Amino acid sequence: MLSDVLLTVLAPSNLIIIAAATFYGCFVGAVPGLTATMAVALLVPFTFFLDPIPAISAIVATTTTAIFAGDISGTLLRIPGTPASAAYVDDAHALSQAGKARTSLFVSLITAAIGGVIGVIILMLVAPQLARIAISFSSFETFWLACLGLTCAIFVGGGTVPKSFASLCIGLAIACVGIDVAVGHPRYTFGTFDLLDGISFIPAMIGIFAFSEVLRNVQILDKPAETIIHATEKVGAAMKAALAVVFKYPKTVGGSSVLGTLVGALPGAGADIAAWISYALTRRFSKDPEKFGKGSLEGVAAGGSANNAAIGGAWTPALVFGIPGDSVTAIAIGVLLLKGLTPGPRIFVDQPELTSALFGSFLVANIMMVPVGILAILASTFILKVPRAVMAPVILLFSMVGAFAIAGTVTAIWIVLALGLMGYYMEKVGIPLAPAILGIVLGKIIEDNFMVSMIKAQGDLSAFFDRQYSMVLGIITLGLWGLLVLRSIREISRSKPQTEG
Protein backbone atom coordinates (compact mmCIF):
# COMPACT_ATOMS: atom_id res chain seq x y z
CA MET A 1 0.00 0.00 0.00
CA LEU A 2 2.79 2.39 0.93
CA SER A 3 4.41 2.05 -2.46
CA ASP A 4 1.06 2.73 -4.15
CA VAL A 5 0.67 5.88 -2.13
CA LEU A 6 4.20 7.02 -2.91
CA LEU A 7 3.61 6.33 -6.59
CA THR A 8 0.47 8.50 -6.58
CA VAL A 9 2.01 11.33 -4.61
CA LEU A 10 5.34 11.42 -6.40
CA ALA A 11 3.93 10.77 -9.87
CA PRO A 12 5.39 13.37 -12.26
CA SER A 13 1.92 14.65 -13.20
CA ASN A 14 1.03 15.20 -9.55
CA LEU A 15 4.34 16.96 -8.88
CA ILE A 16 3.89 19.21 -11.92
CA ILE A 17 0.39 20.14 -10.79
CA ILE A 18 1.61 20.92 -7.28
CA ALA A 19 4.46 23.01 -8.67
CA ALA A 20 2.13 24.95 -10.96
CA ALA A 21 -0.33 25.52 -8.11
CA THR A 22 2.54 26.73 -5.93
CA PHE A 23 3.54 29.39 -8.47
CA TYR A 24 -0.08 30.40 -8.94
CA GLY A 25 -0.67 30.64 -5.17
CA CYS A 26 2.50 32.68 -4.76
CA PHE A 27 1.38 35.19 -7.34
CA VAL A 28 -2.21 35.59 -6.14
CA GLY A 29 -1.15 35.71 -2.50
CA ALA A 30 1.47 38.37 -3.12
CA VAL A 31 -0.83 40.73 -5.03
CA PRO A 32 -2.61 42.90 -2.45
CA GLY A 33 -6.37 42.52 -2.40
CA LEU A 34 -6.43 39.01 -3.83
CA THR A 35 -7.07 36.45 -1.10
CA ALA A 36 -6.17 32.78 -0.81
CA THR A 37 -9.86 31.87 -0.92
CA MET A 38 -10.25 33.75 -4.18
CA ALA A 39 -7.25 31.90 -5.58
CA VAL A 40 -8.90 28.59 -4.72
CA ALA A 41 -12.35 29.61 -6.01
CA LEU A 42 -10.83 30.50 -9.40
CA LEU A 43 -8.78 27.30 -9.41
CA VAL A 44 -11.78 25.00 -9.01
CA PRO A 45 -12.86 25.01 -12.68
CA PHE A 46 -9.42 23.57 -13.47
CA THR A 47 -9.44 20.98 -10.68
CA PHE A 48 -12.82 19.86 -11.98
CA PHE A 49 -11.02 18.15 -14.82
CA LEU A 50 -8.42 16.40 -12.63
CA ASP A 51 -8.51 13.22 -10.55
CA PRO A 52 -9.40 13.69 -6.86
CA ILE A 53 -5.81 13.47 -5.52
CA PRO A 54 -4.21 16.00 -7.92
CA ALA A 55 -7.29 18.22 -7.53
CA ILE A 56 -6.98 18.37 -3.75
CA SER A 57 -3.17 18.63 -3.99
CA ALA A 58 -3.58 21.67 -6.22
CA ILE A 59 -5.99 23.31 -3.77
CA VAL A 60 -3.70 22.62 -0.81
CA ALA A 61 -0.57 23.83 -2.61
CA THR A 62 -2.33 27.01 -3.72
CA THR A 63 -3.58 27.83 -0.22
CA THR A 64 -0.27 27.08 1.46
CA THR A 65 1.78 29.32 -0.78
CA ALA A 66 -0.85 32.04 -1.03
CA ILE A 67 -0.90 32.37 2.76
CA PHE A 68 2.91 32.66 2.83
CA ALA A 69 3.04 35.01 -0.16
CA GLY A 70 0.65 37.36 1.61
CA ASP A 71 3.69 38.32 3.68
CA ILE A 72 5.50 39.60 0.60
CA SER A 73 3.25 42.60 0.05
CA GLY A 74 2.83 42.94 3.80
CA THR A 75 6.58 43.32 4.20
CA LEU A 76 7.31 45.51 1.20
CA LEU A 77 4.11 47.59 0.96
CA ARG A 78 2.59 47.32 4.43
CA ILE A 79 -0.58 45.93 2.79
CA PRO A 80 -1.25 42.34 3.82
CA GLY A 81 -1.52 40.26 0.64
CA THR A 82 -4.11 38.07 2.31
CA PRO A 83 -5.98 38.72 5.60
CA ALA A 84 -3.83 36.04 7.26
CA SER A 85 -0.78 38.33 7.18
CA ALA A 86 -2.54 41.25 8.85
CA ALA A 87 -1.56 40.31 12.42
CA TYR A 88 2.14 41.01 12.00
CA VAL A 89 2.20 43.34 9.01
CA ASP A 90 3.54 46.22 11.12
CA ASP A 91 6.48 44.15 12.31
CA ALA A 92 7.30 42.88 8.85
CA HIS A 93 7.12 46.35 7.34
CA ALA A 94 9.18 47.94 10.11
CA LEU A 95 11.84 45.30 9.50
CA SER A 96 11.98 46.07 5.80
CA GLN A 97 12.26 49.79 6.53
CA ALA A 98 15.25 48.89 8.66
CA GLY A 99 16.78 47.18 5.61
CA LYS A 100 15.94 43.66 6.69
CA ALA A 101 13.17 42.90 4.19
CA ARG A 102 14.71 39.66 2.99
CA THR A 103 15.52 38.41 6.48
CA SER A 104 11.91 38.98 7.49
CA LEU A 105 10.60 37.26 4.35
CA PHE A 106 12.88 34.26 4.79
CA VAL A 107 11.70 33.96 8.40
CA SER A 108 8.12 33.99 7.06
CA LEU A 109 8.95 31.33 4.51
CA ILE A 110 10.80 28.97 6.84
CA THR A 111 8.25 29.26 9.65
CA ALA A 112 5.42 28.85 7.13
CA ALA A 113 6.93 25.56 5.96
CA ILE A 114 7.51 24.37 9.53
CA GLY A 115 3.99 25.38 10.58
CA GLY A 116 2.50 23.70 7.53
CA VAL A 117 4.37 20.44 8.15
CA ILE A 118 3.42 20.38 11.85
CA GLY A 119 -0.21 21.04 10.89
CA VAL A 120 -0.17 18.12 8.46
CA ILE A 121 1.48 15.79 11.00
CA ILE A 122 -1.20 16.60 13.58
CA LEU A 123 -3.84 16.03 10.91
CA MET A 124 -2.29 12.64 10.05
CA LEU A 125 -2.25 11.58 13.69
CA VAL A 126 -5.61 12.88 14.80
CA ALA A 127 -7.90 12.40 11.81
CA PRO A 128 -7.86 8.56 11.66
CA GLN A 129 -8.49 8.37 15.42
CA LEU A 130 -11.45 10.74 15.18
CA ALA A 131 -12.70 8.82 12.18
CA ARG A 132 -12.77 5.64 14.27
CA ILE A 133 -15.20 7.31 16.68
CA ALA A 134 -17.17 9.02 13.93
CA ILE A 135 -17.77 5.80 12.03
CA SER A 136 -20.50 4.87 14.52
CA PHE A 137 -22.33 8.16 14.00
CA SER A 138 -25.86 8.05 12.64
CA SER A 139 -28.05 10.81 11.24
CA PHE A 140 -28.68 12.09 14.78
CA GLU A 141 -25.00 12.68 15.52
CA THR A 142 -24.36 14.12 12.07
CA PHE A 143 -27.20 16.56 12.64
CA TRP A 144 -25.71 17.73 15.93
CA LEU A 145 -22.17 17.91 14.53
CA ALA A 146 -23.33 20.16 11.72
CA CYS A 147 -25.23 22.32 14.23
CA LEU A 148 -22.12 22.46 16.38
CA GLY A 149 -20.09 23.54 13.36
CA LEU A 150 -22.52 26.36 12.62
CA THR A 151 -22.60 27.51 16.25
CA CYS A 152 -18.83 27.50 16.34
CA ALA A 153 -18.77 29.63 13.19
CA ILE A 154 -20.87 32.29 14.91
CA PHE A 155 -18.62 32.18 17.94
CA VAL A 156 -15.29 32.69 16.25
CA GLY A 157 -16.27 34.45 13.02
CA GLY A 158 -15.85 37.98 14.36
CA GLY A 159 -18.64 40.52 14.17
CA THR A 160 -21.50 41.01 16.62
CA VAL A 161 -23.82 38.13 17.48
CA PRO A 162 -26.83 39.43 15.49
CA LYS A 163 -24.68 40.03 12.42
CA SER A 164 -22.96 36.65 12.60
CA PHE A 165 -26.31 34.97 13.14
CA ALA A 166 -27.81 36.92 10.24
CA SER A 167 -24.95 35.71 8.06
CA LEU A 168 -25.69 32.13 9.11
CA CYS A 169 -29.40 32.54 8.28
CA ILE A 170 -28.50 33.96 4.86
CA GLY A 171 -26.42 30.84 4.23
CA LEU A 172 -29.21 28.54 5.41
CA ALA A 173 -31.72 30.37 3.24
CA ILE A 174 -29.49 29.93 0.18
CA ALA A 175 -29.16 26.24 1.01
CA CYS A 176 -32.97 25.93 0.97
CA VAL A 177 -33.21 26.82 -2.71
CA GLY A 178 -34.00 23.85 -4.93
CA ILE A 179 -35.91 20.59 -4.61
CA ASP A 180 -36.39 19.68 -0.95
CA VAL A 181 -35.14 16.32 0.36
CA ALA A 182 -38.25 15.10 2.12
CA VAL A 183 -41.01 15.27 -0.47
CA GLY A 184 -39.36 16.77 -3.56
CA HIS A 185 -41.11 20.12 -3.53
CA PRO A 186 -39.33 22.86 -5.52
CA ARG A 187 -38.49 25.83 -3.29
CA TYR A 188 -37.67 29.40 -4.38
CA THR A 189 -36.83 28.37 -7.94
CA PHE A 190 -39.12 30.93 -9.61
CA GLY A 191 -39.82 28.33 -12.24
CA THR A 192 -36.18 28.26 -13.33
CA PHE A 193 -35.13 24.79 -14.37
CA ASP A 194 -31.46 25.38 -13.48
CA LEU A 195 -32.31 26.24 -9.87
CA LEU A 196 -34.06 22.93 -9.14
CA ASP A 197 -30.73 21.45 -8.10
CA GLY A 198 -30.16 24.39 -5.78
CA ILE A 199 -27.72 27.26 -6.10
CA SER A 200 -24.52 25.68 -7.42
CA PHE A 201 -21.88 26.02 -4.77
CA ILE A 202 -18.79 26.77 -6.83
CA PRO A 203 -20.32 29.68 -8.79
CA ALA A 204 -21.60 30.97 -5.45
CA MET A 205 -18.08 30.90 -4.01
CA ILE A 206 -16.61 32.50 -7.14
CA GLY A 207 -19.18 35.27 -6.74
CA ILE A 208 -18.65 35.83 -3.03
CA PHE A 209 -14.86 35.72 -3.11
CA ALA A 210 -13.73 36.68 -6.63
CA PHE A 211 -16.41 38.97 -8.04
CA SER A 212 -16.79 41.00 -4.84
CA GLU A 213 -13.00 41.36 -4.71
CA VAL A 214 -12.95 42.72 -8.27
CA LEU A 215 -15.71 45.16 -7.34
CA ARG A 216 -13.70 46.41 -4.36
CA ASN A 217 -10.48 46.66 -6.37
CA VAL A 218 -11.85 48.79 -9.21
CA GLN A 219 -13.04 51.38 -6.71
CA ILE A 220 -9.54 52.14 -5.54
CA LEU A 221 -7.86 52.39 -8.94
CA ASP A 222 -7.40 56.12 -8.40
CA LYS A 223 -5.25 55.66 -5.35
CA PRO A 224 -1.61 56.52 -6.02
CA ALA A 225 0.68 53.51 -6.16
CA GLU A 226 2.32 52.64 -2.86
CA THR A 227 6.05 52.92 -2.64
CA ILE A 228 7.71 49.55 -2.75
CA ILE A 229 10.70 49.16 -0.50
CA HIS A 230 13.55 47.72 -2.54
CA ALA A 231 15.34 44.92 -0.81
CA THR A 232 19.10 45.35 -1.08
CA GLU A 233 20.24 42.76 1.43
CA LYS A 234 22.62 40.01 0.39
CA VAL A 235 20.53 36.86 -0.12
CA GLY A 236 22.92 34.48 1.61
CA ALA A 237 23.33 36.67 4.68
CA ALA A 238 19.56 37.16 4.95
CA MET A 239 18.97 33.42 4.76
CA LYS A 240 21.54 32.77 7.48
CA ALA A 241 19.99 35.46 9.69
CA ALA A 242 16.54 33.98 9.16
CA LEU A 243 17.69 30.48 10.12
CA ALA A 244 19.31 31.95 13.24
CA VAL A 245 15.97 33.52 14.18
CA VAL A 246 14.15 30.21 13.79
CA PHE A 247 16.73 28.45 15.97
CA LYS A 248 16.53 31.24 18.54
CA TYR A 249 12.76 30.85 19.01
CA PRO A 250 12.03 27.11 18.60
CA LYS A 251 9.33 27.25 21.28
CA THR A 252 7.55 30.15 19.61
CA VAL A 253 7.52 28.42 16.24
CA GLY A 254 6.50 25.03 17.63
CA GLY A 255 3.89 26.42 20.01
CA SER A 256 2.37 28.72 17.40
CA SER A 257 2.18 25.85 14.93
CA VAL A 258 0.26 23.64 17.36
CA LEU A 259 -1.98 26.51 18.41
CA GLY A 260 -2.58 27.48 14.78
CA THR A 261 -3.60 23.92 13.94
CA LEU A 262 -6.11 23.86 16.80
CA VAL A 263 -7.61 27.23 15.88
CA GLY A 264 -7.76 26.21 12.23
CA ALA A 265 -9.71 23.10 13.14
CA LEU A 266 -12.54 25.20 14.62
CA PRO A 267 -15.23 25.71 12.00
CA GLY A 268 -15.31 29.36 10.98
CA ALA A 269 -11.83 30.25 12.23
CA GLY A 270 -9.14 30.18 9.59
CA ALA A 271 -5.56 31.23 9.07
CA ASP A 272 -6.18 34.91 9.84
CA ILE A 273 -7.64 34.29 13.30
CA ALA A 274 -4.93 31.71 14.04
CA ALA A 275 -2.27 34.32 13.27
CA TRP A 276 -3.89 36.97 15.48
CA ILE A 277 -4.21 34.61 18.47
CA SER A 278 -0.67 33.23 18.19
CA TYR A 279 0.77 36.70 17.76
CA ALA A 280 -1.04 37.97 20.85
CA LEU A 281 -0.05 34.98 22.98
CA THR A 282 3.59 35.10 21.87
CA ARG A 283 3.70 38.77 22.74
CA ARG A 284 2.38 38.09 26.23
CA PHE A 285 5.00 35.43 26.96
CA SER A 286 7.86 37.08 25.09
CA LYS A 287 11.02 38.32 26.79
CA ASP A 288 10.84 41.58 24.89
CA PRO A 289 7.16 42.35 24.24
CA GLU A 290 7.89 46.05 23.66
CA LYS A 291 9.44 45.17 20.29
CA PHE A 292 6.14 43.75 19.00
CA GLY A 293 4.55 45.99 16.40
CA LYS A 294 7.87 47.73 15.78
CA GLY A 295 9.76 45.03 13.95
CA SER A 296 9.83 41.90 16.04
CA LEU A 297 11.15 38.87 14.17
CA GLU A 298 9.65 36.73 16.92
CA GLY A 299 6.21 38.12 16.05
CA VAL A 300 6.72 37.39 12.36
CA ALA A 301 7.77 33.84 13.24
CA ALA A 302 4.74 33.30 15.48
CA GLY A 303 2.15 34.56 12.99
CA GLY A 304 3.94 33.10 10.00
CA SER A 305 3.91 29.58 11.41
CA ALA A 306 0.41 29.78 12.91
CA ASN A 307 -1.40 30.81 9.74
CA ASN A 308 0.14 28.01 7.68
CA ALA A 309 -0.47 25.44 10.42
CA ALA A 310 -4.14 26.48 10.43
CA ILE A 311 -4.51 25.17 6.87
CA GLY A 312 -3.78 21.60 7.99
CA GLY A 313 -6.00 22.09 11.02
CA ALA A 314 -8.95 23.15 8.91
CA TRP A 315 -8.81 19.85 7.03
CA THR A 316 -9.34 17.74 10.15
CA PRO A 317 -13.09 18.37 10.60
CA ALA A 318 -13.48 18.58 6.82
CA LEU A 319 -12.11 15.11 6.14
CA VAL A 320 -13.44 13.36 9.23
CA PHE A 321 -16.92 14.88 9.54
CA GLY A 322 -17.44 16.71 6.25
CA ILE A 323 -17.63 19.95 8.22
CA PRO A 324 -15.29 22.59 6.76
CA GLY A 325 -12.91 24.42 9.08
CA ASP A 326 -12.70 27.51 6.83
CA SER A 327 -13.88 28.80 3.47
CA VAL A 328 -11.10 27.06 1.55
CA THR A 329 -11.98 23.63 2.92
CA ALA A 330 -15.64 24.48 2.24
CA ILE A 331 -14.74 24.83 -1.43
CA ALA A 332 -12.61 21.68 -1.28
CA ILE A 333 -15.55 19.72 0.11
CA GLY A 334 -17.62 21.03 -2.78
CA VAL A 335 -14.95 19.75 -5.18
CA LEU A 336 -14.87 16.31 -3.53
CA LEU A 337 -18.66 16.07 -3.72
CA LEU A 338 -18.54 16.98 -7.42
CA LYS A 339 -16.18 14.06 -7.88
CA GLY A 340 -18.57 11.70 -6.13
CA LEU A 341 -16.56 11.47 -2.91
CA THR A 342 -18.41 12.29 0.28
CA PRO A 343 -15.96 13.40 2.98
CA GLY A 344 -16.60 11.64 6.26
CA PRO A 345 -15.24 8.83 8.40
CA ARG A 346 -16.05 6.27 5.71
CA ILE A 347 -13.28 7.41 3.37
CA PHE A 348 -10.70 6.53 6.04
CA VAL A 349 -12.03 2.97 6.08
CA ASP A 350 -13.04 2.49 2.46
CA GLN A 351 -10.21 4.36 0.76
CA PRO A 352 -7.25 4.54 3.13
CA GLU A 353 -4.91 4.98 0.15
CA LEU A 354 -6.83 8.13 -0.76
CA THR A 355 -6.37 9.78 2.63
CA SER A 356 -2.72 8.69 2.84
CA ALA A 357 -2.08 10.12 -0.60
CA LEU A 358 -3.76 13.35 0.47
CA PHE A 359 -1.49 13.65 3.51
CA GLY A 360 1.52 12.92 1.31
CA SER A 361 0.52 15.65 -1.11
CA PHE A 362 0.11 18.09 1.76
CA LEU A 363 3.71 17.43 2.81
CA VAL A 364 5.02 17.73 -0.74
CA ALA A 365 3.17 21.03 -1.16
CA ASN A 366 4.76 22.45 1.97
CA ILE A 367 8.23 21.37 0.88
CA MET A 368 7.75 22.63 -2.69
CA MET A 369 6.78 26.00 -1.26
CA VAL A 370 10.33 26.66 -0.05
CA PRO A 371 12.19 26.84 -3.40
CA VAL A 372 9.27 28.61 -5.10
CA GLY A 373 9.03 30.98 -2.17
CA ILE A 374 12.72 31.86 -2.48
CA LEU A 375 12.20 32.67 -6.16
CA ALA A 376 9.16 34.78 -5.28
CA ILE A 377 11.11 36.70 -2.65
CA LEU A 378 13.82 37.48 -5.19
CA ALA A 379 11.27 38.52 -7.83
CA SER A 380 8.93 40.26 -5.40
CA THR A 381 9.35 43.76 -6.81
CA PHE A 382 8.14 42.60 -10.23
CA ILE A 383 5.14 40.72 -8.83
CA LEU A 384 3.99 43.77 -6.90
CA LYS A 385 4.19 46.01 -9.97
CA VAL A 386 1.32 44.32 -11.87
CA PRO A 387 -1.34 47.04 -11.98
CA ARG A 388 -4.84 46.52 -10.56
CA ALA A 389 -6.28 48.03 -13.72
CA VAL A 390 -5.09 44.98 -15.67
CA MET A 391 -5.78 42.38 -12.99
CA ALA A 392 -9.44 43.31 -12.45
CA PRO A 393 -10.86 42.69 -15.97
CA VAL A 394 -8.81 39.51 -16.34
CA ILE A 395 -10.02 38.08 -13.02
CA LEU A 396 -13.58 39.07 -13.94
CA LEU A 397 -13.41 37.12 -17.20
CA PHE A 398 -11.91 34.07 -15.51
CA SER A 399 -14.64 34.20 -12.83
CA MET A 400 -17.43 34.22 -15.39
CA VAL A 401 -15.94 31.59 -17.68
CA GLY A 402 -14.96 29.45 -14.66
CA ALA A 403 -18.50 29.49 -13.28
CA PHE A 404 -19.88 28.67 -16.72
CA ALA A 405 -17.39 25.82 -17.10
CA ILE A 406 -18.44 24.19 -13.82
CA ALA A 407 -22.20 24.49 -14.23
CA GLY A 408 -22.48 24.45 -18.02
CA THR A 409 -25.24 27.06 -18.05
CA VAL A 410 -25.47 30.84 -18.09
CA THR A 411 -27.44 30.68 -14.84
CA ALA A 412 -24.08 30.17 -13.12
CA ILE A 413 -22.98 33.64 -14.28
CA TRP A 414 -26.13 35.19 -12.81
CA ILE A 415 -25.36 33.37 -9.54
CA VAL A 416 -21.85 34.86 -9.59
CA LEU A 417 -23.36 38.33 -10.02
CA ALA A 418 -26.12 37.97 -7.42
CA LEU A 419 -24.04 36.35 -4.67
CA GLY A 420 -21.05 38.54 -5.50
CA LEU A 421 -23.11 41.67 -4.90
CA MET A 422 -24.47 40.13 -1.74
CA GLY A 423 -20.99 39.26 -0.46
CA TYR A 424 -19.78 42.74 -1.31
CA TYR A 425 -22.62 44.34 0.63
CA MET A 426 -22.18 42.00 3.62
CA GLU A 427 -18.48 42.82 3.84
CA LYS A 428 -19.26 46.53 3.61
CA VAL A 429 -21.71 46.56 6.53
CA GLY A 430 -19.67 44.27 8.76
CA ILE A 431 -21.57 41.00 8.38
CA PRO A 432 -18.93 38.22 8.51
CA LEU A 433 -18.85 35.86 5.52
CA ALA A 434 -17.68 32.64 7.19
CA PRO A 435 -21.01 31.72 8.86
CA ALA A 436 -22.86 32.19 5.56
CA ILE A 437 -20.43 29.89 3.71
CA LEU A 438 -20.79 27.23 6.39
CA GLY A 439 -24.56 27.73 6.30
CA ILE A 440 -24.64 27.04 2.57
CA VAL A 441 -22.54 23.88 2.97
CA LEU A 442 -24.04 22.59 6.21
CA GLY A 443 -27.64 23.70 5.66
CA LYS A 444 -28.31 20.78 3.35
CA ILE A 445 -26.53 18.32 5.68
CA ILE A 446 -28.54 19.53 8.66
CA GLU A 447 -31.84 19.38 6.81
CA ASP A 448 -31.14 15.95 5.26
CA ASN A 449 -30.15 14.44 8.58
CA PHE A 450 -32.99 16.10 10.45
CA MET A 451 -35.57 14.75 8.02
CA VAL A 452 -34.03 11.28 7.95
CA SER A 453 -33.90 11.22 11.77
CA MET A 454 -37.47 12.40 12.03
CA ILE A 455 -38.67 9.75 9.63
CA LYS A 456 -36.78 7.14 11.69
CA ALA A 457 -38.16 8.43 14.99
CA GLN A 458 -41.59 9.17 13.53
CA GLY A 459 -41.52 12.80 14.50
CA ASP A 460 -40.31 12.32 18.07
CA LEU A 461 -37.87 15.15 18.81
CA SER A 462 -36.54 13.54 22.01
CA ALA A 463 -34.83 10.91 19.80
CA PHE A 464 -32.10 13.51 19.28
CA PHE A 465 -30.96 12.90 22.86
CA ASP A 466 -31.43 9.12 23.02
CA ARG A 467 -28.06 7.93 21.84
CA GLN A 468 -24.90 8.45 23.88
CA TYR A 469 -22.78 10.52 21.46
CA SER A 470 -25.87 12.27 20.19
CA MET A 471 -26.75 13.44 23.71
CA VAL A 472 -23.23 14.73 24.42
CA LEU A 473 -23.06 16.62 21.13
CA GLY A 474 -26.59 17.97 21.65
CA ILE A 475 -25.81 19.25 25.12
CA ILE A 476 -22.58 20.94 23.94
CA THR A 477 -24.48 22.62 21.10
CA LEU A 478 -27.30 23.83 23.35
CA GLY A 479 -24.73 25.04 25.90
CA LEU A 480 -22.97 27.10 23.22
CA TRP A 481 -26.32 28.61 22.17
CA GLY A 482 -26.84 29.67 25.78
CA LEU A 483 -23.42 31.35 25.80
CA LEU A 484 -24.28 33.12 22.54
CA VAL A 485 -27.47 34.54 24.03
CA LEU A 486 -25.46 35.79 27.03
CA ARG A 487 -22.90 37.37 24.73
CA SER A 488 -25.49 39.18 22.64
CA ILE A 489 -27.09 40.58 25.81
CA ARG A 490 -23.67 41.83 26.90
CA GLU A 491 -23.12 43.40 23.48
CA ILE A 492 -26.38 45.32 23.69
CA SER A 493 -25.73 46.57 27.22
CA ARG A 494 -22.24 47.62 26.16
CA SER A 495 -23.53 49.57 23.17
CA LYS A 496 -25.81 51.69 25.39
CA PRO A 497 -23.17 53.75 27.24
CA GLN A 498 -21.69 54.66 23.86
CA THR A 499 -24.91 56.40 22.86
CA GLU A 500 -24.90 58.43 26.05
CA GLY A 501 -21.24 59.30 25.93
Partner 1 sequence: MINKDIITGVILTGAGAWFAWEAQSFPTMGGMTYGPGLFPTIAGLGLVLCGVMILVTGLMQPAVEEAPAETGPKSNWPLINALAIIASVVFFALGLDPLGFHVVAFPVLLVLLLLFRIIWWKALLLAVFVTFLVHFIFYSFLHVPLPWGLLEPIAW
User: Where does this chain bind partner 1 (CB under 8 A)?
Assistant: 45-46, 48-49, 160, 162-163, 165-166, 168-170, 172-173, 175-176, 180, 182-183, 185, 187-188, 211, 214-215, 218-222, 387-390, 392-394, 396-398, 400-401, 404-405, 408, 410, 413-414, 416-417, 421, 428-429, 431, 443, 446-447, 450-451, 454-455, 458-459, 488, 492, 495-496, 498-499
Q: Which residue, among 201, 140, 146, has the nearest Cα to 168 in the 3D structure?
A: 146
Smallest gap from Cβ 498 to partner 1, in A, equals 7
User: Of the two residues 23 and 398, which places its CB atom closer to partner 1 in the complex?
Assistant: 398
User: Of the two residues 138 and 160, which places its CB atom closer to partner 1 in the complex?
Assistant: 160
Alpha-carbon distance of 477 to 261, in angstroms, equals: 22
> Which run of H or of E encompasses 489?
helix 468-500
User: Of the two residues 363 and 454, which places its CB atom closer to partner 1 in the complex?
Assistant: 454
C-alpha atoms less than 13 angstroms from C-alpha of 253 in its C-beta half-sphere: 23
Smallest gap from Cβ 165 to partner 1, in A, equals 5
User: Of the two residues 106 and 140, which places its CB atom closer to partner 1 in the complex?
Assistant: 140
Alpha-carbon distance of 36 to 275, in angstroms, equals: 15
Q: Alpha-carbon Rg of the chain, whole angstroms?
A: 22
> Which run of H or of E encompasses 187?
strand 186-187
User: Of the two residues 212 and 278, which places its CB atom closer to partner 1 in the complex?
Assistant: 212
Smallest gap from Cβ 280 to partner 1, in A, equals 27
User: Of the two residues 216 and 291, which places its CB atom closer to partner 1 in the complex?
Assistant: 216
Smallest gap from Cβ 393 to partner 1, in A, equals 4
Where b means 16+ CB within 10 Å and e means fewer, 320-348 reads: bbbbbbbbbbbbbbbbbebeebebbbebb
Smallest gap from Cβ 38 to partner 1, in A, equals 15
Q: CB 391: neighbour CB atoms within 10 A?
A: 18
User: Of the two residues 291 and 427, which places its CB atom closer to partner 1 in the complex?
Assistant: 427
Sign of the Cα torsion 100, 105, 108, 111 reads negative
Distances (CA, A) of 222 to 78, 219, 384: 18, 8, 17
Smallest gap from Cβ 397 to partner 1, in A, equals 6
CB burial class (10 A; 0-12, 13-18, 19+) of residue 385? exposed
Smallest gap from Cβ 373 to partner 1, in A, equals 25
Query: Residue 187 — φ and ψ, nearest 5°?
Result: -120, 130
